[in-house]
Structure 1
């Protein structure tokens, strides 16, 4: 990028902030956003912070027709001493560039993206809620903007960051969720875009999620697209199982998203000397472990939900309940420890938290 001076235009009207007791996920957005453009031959340019507003694109913009887009998700927290904390943001921008590579989108400068994010958070710090279980969700994303109807990588893009104060991702909160195992539809296959965080992956999951919703399930558990046998991930989370004292999670195989929270949980379990293994896991193995009483816990991990205990699976028209539908001990300890590191109430022996210097002020 040739110019790295961030131009700032402050909003002249400020939005009313929602009550922290009524926060829903992803429905309210802050006063400002970050925007940067890309032009082939010029690179990324014109970084700016502007009032949050609609974006204007031509009907022929390539994003609408060919879906060339990537995004990320991370959170900001406000500590008891009014310090803004980010959780491993470098990992999110690294993954954004891996997604860029898969979608033929030019790489961003990761260090500058973090500088821009910190500047935006400094301006919007009053939007960071402080009630337990709340945070400021951060959505960086890139879209192709060329007004061109042709299947080819675009030559113009926009990189944006928007912010949203949020509560729990699931209505159940930290209480166990019910998961339906998908048997008809496929989300991703090896060699596809499953390892990239791109909108098409989520669009392809909507039909299965719609069916699961009607049956009363919170999410869909995806099996592999080839044999419909091996567990991959939940729609919005990576997944873990505790079987006979050992924690197991599906190995990254080329169609599973490499979650930042997933990697953090693996490191945390190893730090505690809890046996943790990444390998192929069949749904039949999980079913048999549940029937024999060896399936002790199951939980999902992701930025939105952090850690979500799983209390029930539905597979082949049969339900099997885990831990009597209650949150397991390891799951609860992982949730308490990770959220404590994220919000600054617990020690961070890994150096995961990144401080954002800013002035005092918040809403609570």
Structure 2
């Protein structure tokens, strides 16, 4: 497995992640994260400091603003907001916003079935829908109806041993202290623009951002909520507890425990872990995928296109500039 080939096998058709490389895998409980480094594409507003929730204009109607002075905003797929004095919502799709532009999403999902569970304004934050809800939410893009995800949220809550209600904050807010442990155990790398995520050894998703600043602002939402919720349910105990040391292990009989020996051991371990990731990818369901263009954003020297990927085994959305992938959020069904 070459590092580029491993990534390109996840993309449909002629799309390319040329120049992107896999880093050293990290594991916290059932969640494995493989950092992705690659070329940075400047000129994009980051999602937390650039993108703002303007208002909730009624159930299922959410307005976002690109508050950045420059740079087009790629609205992260399935971003949602926990907010004060308005019911919590999440988006079913991505979009482009020019600097200063406001956009009303009329096909948003209300993720709080009834009034209550509000947080103070100082605690407002955004999340990404948990993996178990993402394929359904993507299928519901363009469909008006604020309660369209409540049954799926209720079923997810029940699988987590919580009350069967359409209240996503039962997981996101009440389980937040546990979920944020994934963020503390998985380390964001310098220059990281994306990640492969695996849950219990199975491919869960690929996330690619235009540049490290964008990905850094998505980090907590992806690790804790998009994939952390699934990983938390997949493990019997708290996430990220280290394996116990074997205190009866014999001392190094060959004398290779010096700096050179340790470097060699680390390199061998890294190669073995990457080979294991290759096996996990090879075992992932595969097959043809449809690519449907949803939107374009022509700009000076660019031809940005937002497309939806659908397949029996995979779903998500991708932003391309020519044949280069600048944003991707792909996940297993």
Question: Do Structure 1 and Structure 2 share a fold, with TM-score over 0.5?
Answer: no
TM-score band w.r.t. shorter chain: under 0.3
TM-score by length of 1: 0.25
